């Protein structure tokens, strides 16, 4: 029974999370000695996928994803799975991105398969499939076991083993189906707003985040400058986006996006439990706060007690000096 990974791309470019899920799939394929299929929709730079160990790449060419819903994406993946004659996949891997989170349960319902979400590790055993997953907004880890023959696993980005290059045959299978049949006629996309950050939060290895301690939206120039210098994404606390200082797409936490960067720099954020729920999986946390009693210091690897308006410009100068 084969292993299959669905990978997303954005405007033709594959995401970091896509390479991660292929690497994850490759490891399972090697463990089970089974081929790895990679499914993608309307992609162009398919050659890229070979580098991470895809044995077969199933692409649905010439598809316009602008008007597809998550339901239609799940149906297209089902078509791809059904096109595999032998080696029907027993394990399907999807990254826990916004799209991945939505399509995985739809796909599980269509295929009547098991669904294990938020995996943060490789399977501990395959019979039955057993995996550690994060639960309760990352406050606990649960060990899930599935007795289904076919299972979908969603993996938490940037939390498992990273990206490993390993050449695969990458045999291309073009799936020529009438994609119009899969367009969800009940849904019309009226407009699309591009995220303001230059680097998407789910892909960012470094995130510079700020909270109410910054006092007003005008003070975000230094946050953006620091982020630019570090090649980082920008994030904020909930009140900041509620007050319209920053777009909602930057709000991290329990009710916002959950992120797992290598480095999270929190500036003028108190560290409320709801904020920590979305960022506590960061590999390193640096907190800059004027109040030495701020709860965030308890979760920090490094802390700077000081006024953001003094510390951040100094940090920017130091990084510039270092770069020169
Ligand atoms: C159901 C629910 C869900 C929630 N979900 C989320 C969520 O997803 N994400 C989220 O972020 N919050 C969430 N919240 C809100 C959360 O409880 C906190 O209120 C919020 O995180 C506080 O934001 P803050 O740290 O920016 O502001 P504050 O709590 O006001 O903290 C500001 C911090 O800045 C520091 N500061 C002030 N001036 C300076 C300065 N000059 N230099 C440096 N530091 C300074 C202060 O010492 C303080 O620690 C949720 C709340 C509820 C009830």
Per-residue model confidence as pLDDT tens digits over 191-239: 877 665 567 887 789 999 999 999 999 999 999 999 999 999 999 999 9
Using H for helix, E for strand and C for coil, what is the string for the chain?
CCEEEECCEECCEECHHHHHHHHHHHHHHHHHCCCEEEEEECCCCCHHHHCCCCCEEEEECCCCHHHCCHHHHHHHHHHHHHHCCCCCCCEEEEECCHHHHHHHHHHHHHHCCEEEEEECCCCCEECCEEEEEEECCCCEEEEEEECCCCEEEEECCCCCCCCCCCCCCCEEEECCCCHHHHCCCCCCCCCCCCCCCCCCCCCCCEEEEECHHHCCHHHHHHHHHHHHHHCCEEEECHHHHHCCCCCHHHEECCCCECCCCCEEEEECCCCCHHHHHHHCCCCEEEEEECCCCCCHHHHCCEEEECCHHHHHHHHHHHHHHHHC
The pocket around ligand 1, CB under 6 angstroms, is made up of 211-213, 237-240, 253-256, 268-270, 272, 274-275, 278, 288-291, 294, 307-309
- Residue 93 main-chain phi, psi, to 5 deg: -115, 130
Per-residue model confidence as pLDDT tens digits over 76-85: 999 999 999 8
Q: How high is the pLDDT of residue 244? A: 96
Domain 3-182 has CATH 3.40.50.620: yes
Query: What percentage of the chain carries pLDDT values higher than 90?
Result: 69
| CA-proximal residue: ligand 1, atom 38 (nearest) | 213
Domain with CATH 3.40.50.1220 in the chain: 206-323
Q: How far is the CA of 272 from the centre of ligand 1 (A)?
A: 6
* More confident of the two residues 114 and 160: 114
| CA-proximal residue: ligand 1, atom 27 (nearest) | 212
Measured over all CA atoms, what is the biggest interatomic distance in the chain, rounded to whole angstroms? 64
In the predicted structure, residue 66 carries a pLDDT above the cut 80:
no
Domain with CATH 3.40.50.620 in the chain: 3-182
Q: How high is the pLDDT of residue 197? A: 57
Topology of domain 206-323 in CATH is Rossmann fold (3.40.50)
Q: Mutation test of ligand 1: which of 216, 252, 270, 308 has the most ligand atoms closer than 8 Å to its C-beta?
A: 270
Split at pLDDT 50, 70, 90, the class of 7 is: very high
């Amino acid at each position: 029974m084969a292993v299959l990974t669905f990978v997303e791309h954005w405007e033709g470019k594959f995401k970091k999370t896509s390479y991660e899920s292929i690497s994850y799939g490759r490891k399972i394929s090697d463990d089970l000695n089974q081929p790895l299929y990679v499914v993608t929709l309307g992609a162009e730079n398919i050659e890229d996928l070979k580098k991470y160990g895809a044995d077969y790449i199933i692409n649905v060419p010439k598809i316009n994803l602008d008007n597809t819903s998550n339901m239609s994406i799940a149906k297209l993946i089902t078509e791809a799975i059904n096109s595999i004659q032998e080696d029907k996949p027993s394990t399907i891997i999807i990254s826990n991105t916004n799209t991945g989170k939505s399509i995985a349960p739809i796909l599980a319902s269509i295929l009547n398969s098991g669904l294990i979400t938020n995996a943060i590790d490789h399977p501990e055993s395959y019979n039955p499939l057993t995996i550690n997953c994060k639960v309760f907004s990352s406050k606990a880890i649960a060990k899930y076991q599935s007795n289904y023959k076919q299972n979908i696993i969603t993996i938490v980005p940037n939390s498992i083993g990273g990206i490993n290059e390993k050449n695969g045959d990458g045999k291309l299978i073009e799936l020529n189906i009438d994609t119009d049949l899969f367009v969800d006629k009940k849904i019309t996309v009226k407009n699309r707003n591009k995220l303001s950050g230059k680097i998407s939060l789910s892909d960012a290895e470094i995130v510079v985040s700020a909270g109410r301690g910054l006092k007003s939206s005008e003070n975000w120039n230094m946050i953006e400058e620091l982020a630019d210098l570090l090649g980082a994404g920008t994030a904020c606390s909930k009140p900041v986006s509620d007050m319209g200082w920053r777009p909602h797409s930057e709000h991290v936490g329990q009710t916002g996006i959950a992120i797992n960067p290598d480095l999270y720099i929190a500036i003028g954020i108190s560290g409320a439990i709801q904020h920590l729920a979305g960022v506590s999986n960061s590999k390193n946390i640096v907190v800059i706060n004027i109040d030495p009693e701020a709860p965030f210091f308890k979760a920090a690897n490094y802390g700077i007690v000081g006024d953001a308006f003094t510390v951040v410009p100094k940090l920017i100068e130091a990084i510039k000096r270092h770069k020169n």
